[in-house]
Amino acid sequence: QRTTDEHLGLPHGTKKLANVAYAPIPGRLRAVLGATSSRGCHAMMRPLAWLLPWAAQAVDWCPDALFTKPPPPLSLPVFLSAPGDATQREVAFQVSIGGSVVDAATAFSVKHAIGEDARDALVEAAHAREARGAPVARAVVITSEHADWALQRPGTLLVLVGKEMDCARAAHQNASGLAVARTEDEALREASLIEGSVVVVATQSAPQLSLNEVLAEHERIRHARGGDGSFGVAIPDISGDSVLAFPSSLSGDETAKFYRAWWAVAHLFDDVQEEDPPETPLSCAETCPDIAVVVYHQGEDDTSTRGTFFEISRAVVRGLRALGLRARLTHCVDASQGCAFRDHERRIHLATHNLQVFLDLATMAPLMLKRGDFLPRFSMDVAFNFEYVPNVINATEVAEASSQKTDHVQNAHGSFATAVALATLKKAARVWDYSLANVEPLSTLTRVEHVPLGWSTAWRPHRDLSRLIQDKDIPILFYGTLTSRRKRTLQMLRSNDLPIFHANAQTDGTFAPALDALILSAAIVLDLKAFDSTKTREWKMPRLAKLLAAGAFVVSEGACGVEHQCAAYAEGVVFTDDLVETLQYYMERPVERARVAARGKALFEARTFGRVLRGPVERWLNNVTLYL
């Protein structure tokens, strides 16, 4: 029991303790890590399950005078102007230590009436700054072994368990305070009383992520939950141990949600190289050529294309190899600097819409359409399109695209299928498209063939993640670009008390193994329409392919008529126009979810991509003409 006047230098914001009855740390916190085999994790979590109602020991703090004040808050300049006024004034957007980026941005947007889009941009910029080390969340780290790990982040309040304290050394390492507790119970109770903090419990194994990454993950999840921060997150590592992070305000809240964030460490798993089962070899009129599957990027700063086409590109390569062809994957990051092509290869071009960003500096027209020496062999091979194409194509705009200055890389619907992108497709010898809904309008413009996606090992989640992730911590998962329509839909669903977790709410995208982990952790995966004007024509098979291969239960927005291409998967995906009622129904029916998901997986696996590719590839390599 502490007598307050005898204690020296409490850290900023610490409550003094005297005859205090402590609220319990939730017992569910212990259950989060109950399945792990780590002795360290079990030892650290045991105290969280018990309530010791009276403070029987003291926690000794170093004198406050030794420590400098915490680092300054995150601060970003924002330039504002009144409507119709060209003059701008600079206003500082700040997040205090222990504050939330989302809460601060919301308050700033209300005060200055900047609107939701500007608020979201501000949140994104602040998170980017925070990821580089800006100390927003106040961290109280409880550890027995990893003081150096914790103190790599300036401003940490460090609580050691059963250790002698070196106050001067901690101050020299930019801590904002240091204490020693004799037991984990004592340390946790003390940390729970430091307002506005995120408590981090480090286990006996060396944490795989930095403290800054742990705190950033907690904030990302907060944003994914729509700003609700009442949850804890366990960061596992490959051996099963975890770092646990939760707000100090969580103490006593037994209804709080907890996540085991395998997605935060999925990048640490070794890549698994697999091939698809062999099909009957494809025959060519002459010797079959080597094939390069080329993914075009928008330049060095493009952060999303590689992830967006991660599975698609590998599925195409593996499907070709299953047919006995020699195929490789290559990325052309900056087409203006040339691509790593080989003269003897034929090519299948992916993400060709990205070529529209490379401009002739004299005219600002796209190089792809302006100069004949730019990717000269593009016109000999196949462009495989995965962008939504409008119902009606303006042929005049496409014809004039080569002489027009390029201002936008998205059309009025939000798709990348602009007039320039469509004119680029027209330059290819033939076009493949995954969606029947795109084939009809494209057929008015160029030679196009429907090539639906099929099953491949490339779509399967990482096998180690499939083995390790057993619990469905995420009730309803959504991932994808937050278009205006999707934003309204998510707001509507949340207003109906549906717990939507938007995985990439503050990033350019979540891809590959991290996305695998999220999908495996979700009870329901939500597939939403992106655009207002497409009605039921949107067909998100590139998204569904990954979900079906993972055995996920999917609710997809939009009715599915018998004449539509989605009809093939109607037994394995729930298509609906009533999202609220459908989600509420299936949240309470895990057995029914499992049955539908298993059927969807089986339907997808019955159509291998090698079998799908056989006809289109034979016609291409044997120069069979496609007619308009």
pLDDT in tens, 25-78: 333 344 433 333 332 333 333 333 333 333 444 799 999 999 977 666 678 899
From the centroid of its chain, how far is CA 225? Answer: 13
Q: What's the pLDDT at 19?
A: 28
More confident position, 527 or 219: 527
Q: What's the pLDDT at 411?
A: 56
Half-sphere exposure of 410 (CA within 13 A, CB side): 6
Query: Is-above-0.75 flag for pTM?
Result: yes
Tokens of 416: 């990348």
Residue found by looking up tokens 């989302």 in the block: 102
Task: Please choose, from the candidates 454, 440, 398, 437, the residue with its C-alpha nearest in 3D space to the C-alpha of residue 616.
Answer: 454
More confident position, 33 or 593: 593
Task: Identify the three-state secondary structure at position 450.
Answer: strand
From residue 333, alpha-carbon distances to 298, 316, 340, 355, 581 in Å are 7, 19, 10, 10, 44
Mean pLDDT of 428-437: 93
Q: What's the pLDDT at 398?
A: 81
Rg over CA atoms, the chain: 28
Q: For residue 182, which amino acid is it?
A: R
Average pLDDT, the chain: 83
- pLDDT tens digits, one per residue of 203-240: 867 788 999 889 888 888 988 998 888 899 999 876 76
Task: Identify the three-state secondary structure at position 122.
Answer: helix
Long-range (24+ apart) CB contacts under 8 A made by 567-572 are: 568/603, 569/544, 569/600, 569/603, 569/604, 571/596, 571/599, 571/600, 571/603, 572/548, 572/596, 572/597, 572/599, 572/600, 572/601, 572/602, 572/603, 572/604
Helices (H) and strands (E) counted in the chain, each on its own, are 21, 21
How many other CB atoms are found less than 10 A from the CB of residue 59? 20
Q: At what angle do helices 116-131 and 101-112 cross, to 10 degrees?
A: 140
From residue 113, alpha-carbon distances to 20, 34, 89, 105, 478 in Å are 44, 47, 14, 11, 29
The confidence band for 10, taking pLDDT boundaries of 50, 70 and 90, is very low
Q: What's the pLDDT at 253?
A: 63
Q: What's the pLDDT at 599?
A: 98
Which domains are present in the chain? 4-69+135-260 (no CATH), 74-131 (no CATH), 291-450 (3.40.50), 459-607 (3.40.50.2000)
Task: Identify the three-state secondary structure at position 14.
Answer: strand
How many other CB atoms are found less than 10 A from the CB of residue 466? 15
From the centroid of its chain, how far is CA 245? Answer: 20
The confidence band for 508, taking pLDDT boundaries of 50, 70 and 90, is low
Q: What's the pLDDT at 56?
A: 43
Task: Identify the three-state secondary structure at position 160.
Answer: strand
The confidence band for 98, taking pLDDT boundaries of 50, 70 and 90, is low
Q: What's the pLDDT at 424?
A: 93
Is the distance from CB of 130 to CB of 153 less than 8 angstroms? Answer: no
How many other CB atoms are found less than 10 A from the CB of residue 455? 25
d(Cα 205, Cα 374) in Å, to the nearest integer? 53
Q: What's the pLDDT at 405?
A: 61
Task: Please choose, from the candidates 395, 442, 289, 417, the residue with its C-alpha nearest in 3D space to the C-alpha of residue 351.
Answer: 417
From the centroid of its chain, how far is CA 35? Answer: 25
Q: At what angle do helices 579-587 and 484-495 cross, to 10 degrees?
A: 50
Mean pLDDT is highest, among 180-189, 313-322, 399-408, 526-535, for 313-322
How would you class 312 by CB atoms within 10 Å of its CB: exposed for 0-12, middle for 13-18, buried for 19 or more? Answer: buried
Mean pLDDT of 128-146: 75
Strands (E), 103-144: 138-143
Mean pLDDT of 450-471: 94
Judged against a pLDDT cut of 60, whether residue 286 lies above it is answered with: yes
- pLDDT tens digits, one per residue of 346-388: 999 999 999 999 988 888 888 898 887 888 888 889 999 999 8
The confidence band for 130, taking pLDDT boundaries of 50, 70 and 90, is low
SS3 content of the chain, % helix, strand, coil (to 5): 35, 20, 45
The confidence band for 132, taking pLDDT boundaries of 50, 70 and 90, is low
d(Cα 243, Cα 236) in Å, to the nearest integer? 7
Q: What's the pLDDT at 71?
A: 60
Judged against a pLDDT cut of 80, whether residue 596 lies above it is answered with: yes
Q: What's the pLDDT at 587?
A: 97
Q: What's the pLDDT at 452?
A: 96
Is the distance from CB of 243 to CB of 206 less than 8 angstroms? Answer: no
How many other CB atoms are found less than 10 A from the CB of residue 451? 22
